[in-house]
Amino acid sequence: MYAVAPAPANPLFGRGLLSIEELTPAELSWLVRLARYLKAAPSHEHRSLLRGRTLALLFEKPSLRTRVSFEVAMQQLGGQTLFAAGGEFLIGTRETPEDAAHVLSRYVDAIVIRTHAHEPLVQFARASSVPVINGLSAAAHPCQALADVLTIEERFGSLAGLTITYLGDARNNVAYSLAQASVMLGARVHFGAPNSHRPSEAMLAALNALGESSGGTARAFADPVRAARGADVLYTDVWTSMGEERYRERNDAMLRPYAVTDALLGYAQPHAIFMHCLPAHRGEEVSADVIDGAKSAVFDQAENRMHAQKALLVALLTDAKGMPQ
Q: In the set 19, 237, 273, 305, which binds ligand NVA (CB under 6 A)?
A: 237
Catalytic residue at 99? no
Q: Which of 238, 255, 265, 308 binds ligand NVA (CB under 6 A)?
A: 238
Closest to ligand NVA by CB, 77 or 280:
280
Residue 64 interface partner, choices ligand NVA, ligand CP, none, CB cut-off 5-8 Å depending on type = ligand CP
**Residue 300: active-site member:** no
Site for ligand NVA in 77-116 (CB under 6 A): none
* Residue among 204, 228, 254, 277 that touches ligand CP (CB under 6 A): 277
Number of residues this chain uses to bind ligand NVA (CB under 6 A): 9
Return the residue of 63, 76, 137, 296 that touches ligand CP, per CB under 6 A: 63
Strand 132-134 to strand 110-114: parallel, antiparallel, or no bridges (unpaired)? parallel
Catalytic choice (53, 276, 305, 307): 305
241 binds, among ligand NVA, ligand CP, none (CB under 5 to 8 A by kind): ligand NVA
Is residue 222 near ligand CP by the rule CB under 6 A?
Answer: no
According to the 3-state scheme, what is the secondary structure of the chain? CCCCCCCCCCCCCCCCECCHHHCCHHHHHHHHHHHHHHHHCCCCCCCCCCCCCEEEEEECCCCCHHHHHHHHHHHHCCCEEEEEEHHHCCCCCCCCHHHHHHHHHCCCCEEEEECCCCHHHHHHHHHCCCCEEECCCCCCCHHHHHHHHHHHHHHHCCCCCCEEEEECCCCCHHHHHHHHHHHHCCCEEEEECCHHHCCCHHHHHHHHHHCHHHCCEEEEECCHHHHHCCCCEEEECCCCCCCCHHHHHHHHHHHHHHCECHHHHCCCCCCCEEEECCCCCECCCECHHHHCCCCECHHHHHHHHHHHHHHHHHHHHCCCCCCCC
The answer to the question of residue 307 lying near ligand CP (CB under 6 A) is no
> Segment near ligand NVA (CB under 6 A), from 92-100, 171-179, 205-213, 316-324?
171-179
Q: CB-wise, 121 or 277, nearer to ligand NVA?
A: 277
Selected range binding ligand CP among 25-33, 42-50, 58-66, 161-169, rule: CB under 6 A: 58-66
Q: Give yes or no: 305 in active site.
A: yes
User: Is the bond preceding residue 270 a cis peptide, omega within 30 degrees?
Assistant: no
114 has catalytic annotation = yes
Q: Which one of residues 101, 130, 132, 136 is an interface residue with ligand CP (CB under 6 A)?
A: 136
Catalytic positions: 114, 141, 144, 237, 277, 305
Which positions touch ligand CP (CB under 6 A)? 63-66, 136, 144, 277-278
